[in-house]
Amino acid sequence: MRRLRSAIIAVLALTITWLAYDNVLTDVDPTKALSEAAACKIKDCKLQHGMTKVSRTPFGQWFEWTWRDATVSTVCRREMFVFGAMRCAVE
């Protein structure tokens, strides 16, 4: 039983370490582009806009895009929590 508990704790620690690296320490530009594309489905990107807020945690990345008359928030996460392609959705 003790070995099983140790193995589970090790897997959880490695998973959280991977998520921290993937979501916090890697390059934000590809995810930022996906987030902007998701926000542009709600509001026209031909109008002047900009990213006003970024929050990066081991469990996802949150972006806030602001136009003159609106603000759109998006959240980006992996499809299967740890693996898979990064997907962004409007909150």
Q: What pLDDT, on the 0 to 100 scale, is given for residue 83?
A: 86
Q: Per-residue pLDDT tens for 77-89?
A: 999 888 899 999 9
pTM of the entire structure?
0.86
Strand-pairing partners, residue 57, are 60
User: pLDDT category, 1, cuts 50, 70, 90?
Assistant: confident
Q: From edge to edge, which strands make up the β-sheet containing 71-80?
A: 50-57, 60-66, 71-80, 83-90
Q: Where are the domains of the chain?
A: 2-90
Q: Is 79 exposed, middle or buried (0-12, 13-18, 19+ CB in 10 A)?
A: exposed
